[in-house]
A = this chain, B = another copy of it.
């Protein structure tokens, strides 16, 4: 798959699933690096172009992000970024799709984070989203959910670990970040659907005990 394949524009389009005009547009926008020119009107491309296009397609078609956000991620993987920097940018861009509300800090959240020994940034949109969700649960007086925060955090840890394991064999930073994007966007409905199925299962116990 990732041997040093050299290809023309047409093949790049076919393999990436992105049309030739769109590829040219990305190139003019600086989102895709130019190919290696072989004559006046021909150039060749390699697996790095393919990786980049697949990443862009994941960000646009699957995650539904605007090009301004795509650029943030592309800039992060193009520079001297470490995995963690590129992941942080990607997370921040994706978190915007969960909630736009921030909520300062949350004591109950800080307690859980410290209990689990998570090293994570309070300044990140992810922390802000979590604190915002805690605030909203308080506002709706659904504090029984917060009583189970430890359990949710433990489950989240299993999910986060699996998310990273699922991308650890990726061969380039771009493939890995594409995995983060697709993993987050596509794994999210999967997890929620699994939760609903588990609820169905446990609801039957509720009925059983409720009738006794």
**Which residues of A pack against B, CB within 8 Å?**
58, 62, 82-84, 87-88, 91, 94-95, 98-99, 113, 116-121, 124, 126-127, 129-130, 132-134, 136-137, 140, 142, 144-145, 147-148, 151-169, 179-180, 182-183, 186-207, 210-211
Partner of A124, one of B158, B167, B200: B200
Check A153 against B194 for contact (C-beta < 8 Å): yes
Which B residues are CB-close (under 8 A) to A134?
190
| Secondary structure call for the A interface | helix
Q: If A127-B197, A195-B159, A196-B95 touch, does A186 touch B133 (CB 8 Å cutoff)?
A: yes
Which B residues are CB-close (under 8 A) to A130?
190, 193-194, 196-197
Name the residue on B nearest A194 (C-beta).
B156
Q: If A91-B199, A203-B87 touch, does A187 touch B145 (CB 8 Å cutoff)?
A: yes
Q: If A183-B145, A186-B145, A189-B99 touch, does A203 touch B164 (CB 8 Å cutoff)?
A: yes
Which B residues are CB-close (under 8 A) to A99?
189, 193
Partner of A160, one of B157, B167, B188, B199: B199
Query: Once bound together, how far apart are the Cα atoms of A10 and B91, in whole Å?
Result: 46
Name which of A152, A192, A207 has the most chain B CB atoms within 10 A of its CB: A192
Query: Once bound together, how far apart are the Cα atoms of A124 and B207, in whole Å?
Result: 18
Check B156 against A162 for contact (C-beta < 8 Å): no
Check B144 against A198 for contact (C-beta < 8 Å): no
Partner of A158, one of B62, B151, B190: B151
Q: If A83-B207, A140-B62 touch, does A163 touch B199 (CB 8 Å cutoff)?
A: yes
Query: Once bound together, how far apart are the Cα atoms of A199 and B156, in whole Å?
Result: 9
Q: If A198-B156, A206-B84 touch, does A166 touch B193 (CB 8 Å cutoff)?
A: no
